[in-house]
């Protein structure tokens, strides 16, 4: 991910770290380099004032020599400071442009790999097909099944105009007793309709937003093609599935979370409501539509 030049969140830590590294390199851990700068300056001073040095050597007494040395150093103080500053800013420039960004990148990669090993694989990234504007109506089918002859379940129909202008629409899901759960949000982006929801994963909820998620738990997997997205757990059991079943028609199956409730559905149109703490995916089996592990099959449909 690129960083803007005006992004202080990037440049602030970079400059702080570069200054710290430069100070350690030039002043602390590499004090010998600073001493070398002074020695070079003193040698330069002696060479420049060699005639005066000769005259001082002729004169007797250490006081005259000390007086001359102090005088010579005073004359060269500004060049010494300038040389030191040049060395410091040269090191700073090298750190800002090369050393520190590379170190930050390596640390970020190590942290990312450690996080993946601890928590799981990369997050989901999927986009449904673009909508057909010749049909202004859109239908969401939560659970059930759909074919040309029959719809099992209760379709939720809304108008695409309701989502224009970066607006969103809360979709209420009803259980068998008519209680409503506003657990899904419809959004319109890039001529596509996305359905945002949360899915259970045991110790945390995973947000599905605009076809993307955070990193999945360890062992989980996901697969997709142009018409479907599927997320499975570490035993390849379907947790969430979203697929296009017809033009401007999306079906969602699996389990989603609303507050401390889980809303689960299978091929039937009914919704089973339970507590998130007691959720067991084996109670709501859905056969996967993709082959796993996805890294070996690349969106291949199950046979």
What string of H, E and C letters represents the secondary structure of 205-230? Answer: EEEEECCECCCCCCCCEEEEECCEEE
Alpha-carbon span 35 to 56, nearest angstrom? 25
pLDDT at 214: 85
pLDDT at 8: 45
* Angle, vertex CA 267, rays to CA 271 and CA 290, nearest 5: 120
For residue range 215-248, list pLDDT tens digits in order.
888 889 999 998 999 999 989 999 999 998 887 8
**pTM of model > 0.75:** no
Alpha-carbon span 141 to 243, nearest angstrom? 10
| Cβ neighbours for 185, distance < 8 A, ≥ 6 positions apart | 168, 169, 170, 171, 195, 196, 197
SS3 197: strand
DSSP sequence for 212-276: B-SPPPTT-EEEEETTEEEEE-TT--EEEEEEEEETTEEEEEEEEEETTEEEEE-SSS--EEEEG
The answer to whether 220 and 119 have CB atoms below 8 angstroms apart is no
Q: Where are the domains of the chain?
A: 8-119, 137-297
| Cβ neighbours for 74, distance < 8 A, ≥ 6 positions apart | none
* Angle, vertex CA 280, rays to CA 295 and CA 276, nearest 5: 105
Alpha-carbon span 222 to 242, nearest angstrom? 12
Among 278, 257, 270, smallest CA distance to 178 is for 270
pLDDT at 184: 94
Alpha-carbon distance values, 290 to 225, 278, 293 (Å): 9, 27, 9
pLDDT tens track, the chain, 303 positions: 333 333 444 455 667 667 777 666 666 555 555 566 666 666 666 566 655 555 545 455 566 666 766 676 666 666 767 777 787 778 778 877 777 777 766 765 665 455 455 545 578 889 898 887 777 888 898 887 766 666 666 788 888 888 877 788 999 988 878 889 999 999 988 888 999 999 998 767 899 999 999 888 888 999 999 899 999 998 999 999 999 888 788 999 999 999 888 999 877 667 888 887 778 887 888 899 999 998 888 889 998
* Location of structure tokens 């689960």: 264
pLDDT at 117: 56
The answer to whether 222 and 232 have CB atoms below 8 angstroms apart is yes
Token readout for 52 is 């005066």
pLDDT at 131: 83
DSSP sequence for 126-194: --PPPP-TT--EEEEEESSEE-SS-EES-EEEEEGGGGTTT-EEEEEEE-TT--EEEEEEEEEETTEEE
Q: 200: exposed, middle or buried (C-beta count within 10 Å: 0-12, 13-18, 19+)?
A: buried
The answer to whether 206 and 222 have CB atoms below 8 angstroms apart is no
């Amino acid at each position: 991910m690129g960083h803007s030049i005006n992004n202080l969140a990037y440049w602030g830590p970079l400059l702080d770290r570069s200054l710290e590294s430069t100070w350690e390199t030039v002043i602390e851990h590499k004090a010998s380099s600073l001493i070398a700068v002074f020695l070079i300056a003193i040698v330069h001073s002696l060479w420049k004032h060699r005639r005066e040095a000769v005259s001082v050597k002729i004169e007797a007494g250490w006081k005259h020599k000390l007086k001359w040395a102090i005088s010579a150093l005073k004359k060269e103080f500004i060049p010494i400071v300038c040389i030191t500053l040049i060395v410091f800013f040269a090191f700073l420039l090298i750190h800002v442009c090369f050393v520190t960004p590379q170190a930050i990148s390596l640390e970020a990669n190590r942290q990312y790999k450690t996080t993946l090993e601890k928590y799981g694989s990369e997050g989901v990234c999927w986009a449904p097909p673009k909508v057909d504007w010749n049909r202004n109506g859109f239908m969401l089918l939560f659970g059930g099944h759909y074919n040309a002859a029959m719809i099992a379940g209760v379709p939720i129909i809304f108008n695409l105009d309701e989502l224009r202008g970066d607006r969103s629409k809360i979709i209420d899901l009803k259980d068998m007793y008519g209680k409503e759960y506003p657990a899904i949000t419809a959004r319109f982006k890039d001529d596509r309709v996305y359905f945002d929801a949360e899915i259970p994963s045991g110790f945390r909820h995973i947000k599905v937003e605009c076809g993307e998620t955070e990193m999945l738990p360890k062992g989980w997997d996901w697969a997709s093609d142009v018409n479907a997205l599927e997320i499975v757990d570490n035993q390849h059991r379907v947790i969430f599935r979203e697929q296009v079943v017809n033009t401007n028609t999306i079906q969602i199956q699996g389990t989603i979370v609303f507050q401390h409730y889980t809303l689960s559905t299978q091929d039937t149109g009914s919704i089973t409501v339970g507590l998130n703490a007691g959720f067991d995916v084996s109670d709501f089996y859905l056969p996967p539509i993709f082959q796993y592990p996805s890294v070996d099959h690349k969106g291949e449909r199950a046979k």
